[in-house]
């Protein structure tokens, strides 16, 4: 039956199912903890009962972005090892580039003004002028300059040792008058071996590194092997050879201890020369093998140098003309 037929003055909750006493009682008997629970509040306000029922699923009040508990490390200007190595290489390359620029400018100035001989450094009023042009920083490439300088210092040590040998033989001659021949030979070795060593083995190695010449390398190796052998003989010091070696020094000790000690020191100098010369020979040979030089290349350089020599060309042309004239006379 429609609601319009009902009594308007009757109680509206009579037929309401939600007004049943059991439903009303269940609605009003909700635990107090659930009435106060709000999921949008802080985790601190969650009741103990709810926290116990939810177990470990409590809300984390920690913010998403952590606040720094420690200060960041202080800024250090120290650079890593790789960067320092790169900086060292860059500085080395810049130094080599500056060295090459300097050499190029010096070569240009020399080509404009002409290369004048500057060795040996003699005074201007001296009757004999310099015979060679010697400048390691200009002629020699940067990677070979240290080796050539060592060879130059070794030659200077060679000349100084020969001069000391003259002093030692003179002292030996003063205590033993029969050693005049040794003293004379020591002067001869000093006057002969000093310029010959410069021309025969130092200038070839200087020119070999300057122009990468295989022929000059072979000249140096041949002469320097002989020079090492001479150093060995001089360090031995056979009597009558004009050298203050070990045998001569020990012999002189029986006559004068002071002169014997002096000759022992000179024998040490000759021994040092022999050892250092052998070491430098091996070093130069190792560098020679890295330059691409060979015996065939040395032969080609020798043939080219001989054929380009003006004296050889003149002699060859004269010989050819004489042979042609003789052949023409025989036909006539």
Q: For 25-62, what is each residue's pLDDT tens digit?
A: 655 555 554 555 555 555 555 455 444 444 444 445 55
CA atoms within 13 A on the CB side of 58: 16
C-alpha span between 249 and 261 (Å, rounded): 7
For residue 191, pLDDT beyond 90: yes
Which residues are paired to 132 by β-bridges?
119
Question: Measuring CA to CA, which residue among 172, 160, 115, 110 is closest to residue 270?
Answer: 160
Mean residue pLDDT across the chain: 76
pLDDT at 115: 74
Tens of pLDDT along 262-282?
A: 999 999 999 999 999 999 999
Cα atoms in the Cβ-side hemisphere of radius 13 Å centred on 12: 1
| Residue 87 Cα distances to 93, 96, 284, angstroms | 10, 14, 31
Residue 98 has pLDDT above 90, yes or no: no
Does residue 227 carry a pLDDT above 80?
yes
- Tell me, what's the pLDDT at 287? 87
The pLDDT of residue 233 is 93
Alpha helices in the chain (DSSP H): 21-28, 32-36, 48-54, 81-113, 136-139, 142-175, 180-197, 203-211, 214-236, 246-252, 257-290, 295-308, 310-331
- Chain segment 137-165, per-residue pLDDT in tens: 888 988 899 999 999 999 999 999 999 99
Residue keyed to tokens 């029969």: 178
pTM of the model: 0.60
Determine the straight-line distance between the first and last CA of the chain, rounded to whole angstroms: 167
When comparing pLDDT for 96 and 238, which is higher?
238
Q: How far is CA 280 from CA 130, 225, 289, in A?
A: 28, 11, 14
Question: Would you say residue 90 has pLDDT above 50?
Answer: yes
Q: How many CB atoms lie within 10 A of CB 162?
A: 24
Beta bridge partner(s), residue 119: 132
Is 180 in contact with 173 (CB distance < 8 Å)?
Answer: yes
**Region 174-198: what's the mean pLDDT?**
93
Q: Is the pLDDT of residue 261 over 80?
A: yes
User: What's residue 56's pLDDT?
Assistant: 46
> Which of 201, 218, 204 is CA-nearest to residue 158?
201
207, 212, 217, 218 alpha-carbon torsion, rounded to 10°: -120
Res. 92 pLDDT band, cuts 50 70 90: confident
């Amino acid at each position: 039956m429609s609601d319009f037929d009902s009594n308007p003055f009757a109680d509206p909750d009579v037929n309401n199912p939600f007004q049943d006493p059991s439903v009303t009682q269940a609605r009003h008997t909700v635990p107090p903890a659930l009435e106060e629970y709000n999921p949008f509040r802080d985790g601190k306000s969650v009741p103990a009962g709810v926290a116990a029922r939810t177990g470990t699923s409590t809300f984390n009040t920690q913010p998403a972005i952590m606040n720094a508990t420690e200060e960041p490390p202080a800024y250090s200007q120290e650079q890593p090892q790789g960067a320092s190595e790169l900086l060292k290489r860059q500085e080395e390359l810049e130094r080599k580039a500056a060295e090459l620029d300097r050499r190029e400018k010096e070569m240009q100035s020399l080509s404009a003004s002409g290369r004048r001989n500057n060795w040996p450094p003699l005074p201007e009023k001296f009757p004999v002028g310099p015979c060679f042009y010697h400048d390691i920083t200009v002629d020699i490439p940067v990677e070979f300059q240290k080796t050539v300088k060592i060879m130059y210092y070794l030659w200077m040590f060679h000349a100084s040792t020969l001069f000391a040998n003259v002093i030692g033989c003179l002292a030996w001659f003063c205590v033993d008058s029969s050693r005049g021949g040794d003293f004379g030979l020591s002067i001869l070795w000093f006057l002969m071996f000093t310029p010959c060593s410069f021309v025969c083995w130092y200038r070839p190695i200087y020119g070999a590194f300057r122009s990468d010449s295989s022929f000059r390398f072979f000249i140096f190796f041949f002469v320097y092997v002989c020079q090492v052998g001479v150093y060995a003989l001089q360090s031995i010091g056979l009597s009558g050879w004009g050298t203050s070696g070990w045998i001569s020094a020990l012999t002189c000790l029986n006559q004068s201890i002071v002169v014997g000690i002096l000759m022992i020191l000179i024998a040490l100098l000759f021994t040092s020369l022999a050892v250092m010369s052998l070491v430098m020979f091996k070093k130069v040979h190792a560098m020679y093998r890295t330059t691409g030089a060979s015996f065939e290349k040395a032969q080609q350089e020798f043939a080219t140098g001989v054929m380009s020599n003006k004296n050889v060309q003149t002699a060859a042309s004269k010989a050819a003309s004489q042979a042609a004239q003789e052949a023409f006379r025989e036909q006539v």
